[in-house]
Every structure is written in structure tokens, then in C-alpha cells.
Amino acid sequence: MTTYGSFPGTRPRRLRTTPVMRRMVAETRLHPADFILPAFVREGVSEPVPITAMPGVVQHTRDTLKKAAVEAVEAGISGIMLFGVPEDEKKDALGTAGTDPDGILQVALRDVRAEVGDELLVMSDLCLDEFTDHGHCGVLDDQGRVDNDATLERYAEMAQVQADAGAHVVGPSGMMDGQIGVVRDALDQIGREDVAVLAYTVKYASAFYGPFREAVGSSLKGDRKTYQQDAANAREAMRELALDLAEGADMVMVKPAGPYLDILAKVAEAADVPVAAYQISGEYSMIEAAAEKGWIDRDRAILEALTGIKRAGARNILTYWATEVARTLR
């Protein structure tokens, strides 16, 4: 074989020759502790309810939620993020079921804490959208617009009842201005300095939330573009980060994950607190749907997508595959 000069003088392929070699030099590794499992619990059901748009994911009963939490502990993941789905007749304009100590989310928090104690971080979504009859993340003014400051009062109350119910971590996700500072103050006022705040710092108004609407039985009409971020904007995300850190966020999150890896990388570079990313319902459903049709290798695609999220800078990943992937890694 003819050679031309001294090329190739460097052969990176030497480090790709075998699975063991590739494993040894891997720059990014997934670990069960990276993962947080989002889970839905539905009021008034005796059997889990499959979510059509999210194959393999269900709206849990209280009992099956406790089982899922135990399985998460056994798999070695770090946390479970709970979303409550109330009965339709309990939804109202103020989302009062979200602050009822006996509402489905608070009951579920108590159930899971009683089941797993401190072996798993029990996290709660702190938002009104599941509980309002209009489906928005806040209360509305007399012109039908989300009232930022009135919503903050509701978030403060939510934070306190969720802490009382056993949440280790609350996750304010409504994208209201000032929400992290208000939630932190509300927790401190009741002596719950121990409860951490995971800020949904960068949350885009994304088309990829579609399957989640079914998962939480959303009543939303219209969209959330007046409070969630515009997909075109990156500098705005960094402004949100600076505000949340100044208001006392213990951890920050980017949501969605896959379509916004550039934003995730910027946030991870700038933040001095742990950074999470949420691989949302649409990201999950696309892989599951393509795999069901035989278009992609499901297991490889899942690991590749998660590795990309971690490589971009996520310390923790919320994913509906959390328990499954953690078992594989172990």
C-alpha cells in the first residue's frame, strides 16, 4: 500500500478499537444517581391509568406510586418528582386543590415519605396548572391574563403545604417573575430552611410538552407564551439564571433538555449550583414511537439521548426512563 508523507501520523481510532477501550476512555458516564423520576398520581382511581401518548408511563394510584418509589430506591436513582392529577370537579380558578392539605399531591407526598423516608429525595412540582379549571400556571385577572403577583401568593402557600406534607425539594415550575424568592421566604417563615428549591429556571414554551397535557389531564386552552420563554432566545435564559440564583435557588433546571442542549451548556458553565435538565414527554414519546415502528434501536437511542444531556452539563436528569436505565447501568 502506498503511503503519502507521514499521514496519518496520529490515529485517534486506536482508542475506539474495543468495547473495553471505549469504556475506559469515555469522557461522560451515566450513573443511577444522576436520575430523577417524574411520576403522576391520579385521584380517585383504583388501577393505574395508561397514558396513551407516553407508552409505558401511567397515572399511578396511591398504592402503585409507593411501589414505584420503592423500585426507584432499589435502582439507586436520586429522586422522584411528583405531579398530582385531581378529579375534574375539584379544579377551580384558583387551583385550591393544590394547596389543600388533603389534596392528591399532598397526600401522595405523605405516602411516599412514609414508604421510603430519606432513601429517596421526594420532590414536588410547585405549580397550579394541574389544579386550575383554565389550565394555566397561575391565577387570572379580570381580562383573562395570568396575574404574576397574585400567583406568587398562591405559590407561597403551595410551598408551605408541600413542605408540611414531606417534600425534601420543591420545584417551582410556573415561570412567574420572583417565584424563587417568594418560595424561599415562605419556607423560611415556617422554619423549613431544610427544604431545597429546584428552580425551573429555563423553561421554554415548547411543542414537546404535548403528551404531558394528557398525563396531567390539562384543561389548558391557548398557550403559555406570555410566561414561558421564547425558543429564539438564549441571553434571556442567562438573565433568568442570574435572577434565580440571586433569589436563593439551591438547584436550577433547563426544560426541555434535548432541543436546548446549547442553553444547558451555557447554564452549566455559569451556574455555581447543581444543574438539572428535564427530558420531557415529547422527547420520551418520539423515541418510543420511532422504536415501536422499528425505525431506531430503542435502548441505544435512550442511552445516547441521556448521554448527550449529561455531556452538555446536566448533573441530574429528570427522565421517564430513570428507573429502567438505572437498572441497566447497575
Residues 320-330: pLDDT tens digits?
Answer: 999 999 999 98
Is 255 catalytic? The answer is yes
> pLDDT averaged over consecutive 10-residue blocks of the chain (330 residues)?
73 94 95 98 95 95 98 98 94 94 97 98 95 90 93 97 98 95 98 97 92 78 85 96 98 97 98 97 96 97 98 98 96
Contact present, 216 and 83 (Cβ < 8 Å): yes
What element of type H or E holds 135? Answer: none
Q: What is the pLDDT of residue 217?
A: 74
Query: What residues contact 38, with CB distance under 8 A and at least 6 apart?
Result: 80, 81, 83, 278, 318, 319, 320
Q: What is the pLDDT of residue 73?
A: 98
Q: What is the pLDDT of residue 219?
A: 74
Q: What is the pLDDT of residue 210?
A: 82
CA contacts within 13 A on the Cβ side of 92: 7
Is 90 catalytic? The answer is no
Q: What is the pLDDT of residue 222?
A: 73
Residue 39: what residue type? A
- Among 66, 67, 90, 255, the active-site one is 255
* Number of residues in the chain: 330
Q: What is the pLDDT of residue 3?
A: 61
Q: What is the pLDDT of residue 303?
A: 98
Provide φ and ψ at 207, rounded to 5°.
-75, -15
Q: What is the pLDDT of residue 220?
A: 72
User: Whole-prediction pTM value?
Assistant: 0.94
> Residue 105 and residue 46: Cα distance in Å, rounded?
16
3-state secondary structure 33-76: HHEEEEEEEECCCCCCEECCCCCCCEEECHHHHHHHHHHHHHHC
- Among 203, 225, 293, 310, the active-site one is 203
Query: What residues contact 170, with CB distance under 8 A and at least 6 apart?
Result: 123, 124, 126, 158, 159, 162, 163, 183, 187, 195, 196, 197, 198
